Amino acid sequence: MSLNMYTQPKKKREVDPNAPPRPTLLGHEKEMKVWREQFGKLATTNTEQAIELAFLKRKLNRMQGQIDALVSSQRRTSR
């Protein structure tokens, strides 16, 4: 092995003009920023929906209790 092999300049590759641009770390950072924003929005939506669901469950339980009370009073009066 000769040291000449290490001192020779590298041969440049031919570049395909039709090839898409190579990915860069900056591009990945931008994508990750968009993903973080989307996940934040989804988390907010999820929290809002959980609050709304809890409210609707309470409302349903109250209405079910009222219906049960009406049915039991109706049964008492019809006897």
- Tens of pLDDT, residues 32-59: 999 999 999 999 999 999 999 999 999 9
Which one is predicted more confidently, 22 or 64?
64
pTM for this predicted structure: 0.57
Residues 45, 54: Cα–Cα separation, whole Å: 14
Q: How far is CA 2 from CA 5, 8, 10, 11, 36, in A?
A: 6, 11, 16, 18, 53
Average pLDDT of the segment spanning 72-76: 92
H helices of the chain, where? 4-7, 25-78
- Tens of pLDDT, residues 5-33: 677 777 888 888 888 887 778 878 888 99
**Per-residue confidence (pLDDT) for residue 1, from 0 to 100:** 54
- Going from N- to C-terminal start, the domains of the chain cover 26-79
